Structure formats: structure tokens, C-alpha cells
């Protein structure tokens, strides 16, 4: 216990004062001490069992199907086309080499034709017919003479 001096007047009974000496009033303080102890209040028993049962579960299964369509083209190309995609369609060109036999005109030579006029002489004896006409004129009153031609035309 601790004591504290108090100043002032100490009173005894009904207003009596006893000297002027300090009065001692005891101040008491309690302290609590807390302790724990284990007390059994009951027991628990835990057991586990596995039960099996069937349940219908809808599990989605996704797979892809590939559809191949053959599209005939039938064209000669100079270079191989590349694989291309149009929308959701992938286009893969299929090529083959083919022999091509062509009938084409091939100019071997040219013939240049021109006319040159060449004149040559070959003397030959041939039989030729010629008609000659004798015309005789006489003056009026004259008689024609025999054997003298008046003019010849030929």
C-alpha cells in the first residue's frame, strides 16, 4: 500500500480539527492477474467418406473439318502464282508442266523476183507471103497498054 500526504485540514468528527499536521490517507490500487488454463469442454470426432455417383455434364468438343473444292482453271501462266487467302478460303495453285507443240510460221528465205528485158537477135530464114497489087491508070479515050504499069503499091 502506498500513502500520500494530503494538505489541508484534517477532520475527525463533526467539524473538529485536529492540529495542523498533514493527514495520511491510504490509496489502494488493485492489480489483476490473468491466467489461462486448458479446460476440456467436450470432444469432436471427424470421419470422411467418399461417395460415387453419376452426373450428366455437357462438355463442348470442338473440331474443324477441312473441305477441299477443286476449281478447274485451265490457263497457261508465265510464273507460278503464290498461295493466297480470300476471306476464310485459302487458295493453293496446282501446277504441272506441259509440252506445247505449236505450228508457227518460220521464215526460211525470201525470193525476190524481178523482170529484166533482154533482147537477143537470131537470124533465121523463114518463108513470108506478101501480096502485091498493080494498079494501072489510063486517061480517058486512051487504051491500056499491055505490060506498062501505071503505079505500084506494096
Please determine, for residue 28, whether its predicted confidence score (pLDDT) is greater than 70.
Answer: yes
Look-up of cell digits 455434364: 57
Reading the block at residue 128, the C-alpha cell is 513470108
The residues that bridge with 26 in the sheet, in sequence order, are 3
- Is the distance from CB of 93 to CB of 83 less than 8 angstroms? yes
- Asked if residue 10 is part of any domain, the answer here is yes
- Is the distance from CB of 89 to CB of 99 less than 8 angstroms? no
What is the CA 115 to chain-centroid distance, rounded?
67
Please determine, for residue 141, whether its predicted confidence score (pLDDT) is greater than 60.
Answer: yes
Q: Average pLDDT, stretch 129-153?
A: 67
Please determine, for residue 136, whether its predicted confidence score (pLDDT) is greater than 60.
Answer: yes
pLDDT in tens, 91-126: 999 999 888 888 776 667 777 777 677 888 888 888
- Asked if residue 19 is part of any domain, the answer here is yes
Query: Residues 95-129, buried b or exposed e (16+ Cβ, 10 A)?
Result: eeeeeeeeeeeeeeeeeeeeeeeeeeeeeeeeeee
- Asked if residue 110 is part of any domain, the answer here is no
Task: Tell me how many domains the chain contains.
Answer: 1
- Asked if residue 12 is part of any domain, the answer here is yes
Domain residues for the domain of 11 are 1-30
Amino acid at each position: 500500500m502506498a500513502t500520500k500526504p494530503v494538505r489541508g485540514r484534517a477532520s475527525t468528527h463533526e467539524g473538529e480539527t485536529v492540529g495542523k499536521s498533514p493527514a495520511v490517507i491510504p490509496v489502494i490500487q488493485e492489480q489483476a492477474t490473468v491466467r489461462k488454463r486448458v479446460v476440456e469442454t467436450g470432444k469432436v470426432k471427424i470421419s470422411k467418406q467418399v461417395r460415387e455417383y453419376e452426373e450428366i455434364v455437357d462438355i463442348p468438343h470442338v473440331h474443324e473439318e477441312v473441305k477441299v473444292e477443286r476449281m478447274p482453271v485451265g490457263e497457261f501462266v508465265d510464273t507460278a502464282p503464290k498461295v493466297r487467302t480470300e476471306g476464310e478460303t485459302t487458295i493453293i495453285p496446282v501446277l504441272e508442266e506441259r509440252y506445247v507443240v505449236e505450228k508457227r510460221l518460220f521464215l526460211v528465205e525470201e525470193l525476190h523476183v524481178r523482170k529484166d528485158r533482154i533482147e537477143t537477135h537470131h537470124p533465121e530464114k523463114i518463108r513470108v507471103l506478101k501480096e502485091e497489087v498493080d494498079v494501072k491508070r489510063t486517061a480517058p479515050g486512051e487504051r491500056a497498054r499491055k505490060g506498062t504499069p501505071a503505079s505500084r503499091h506494096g
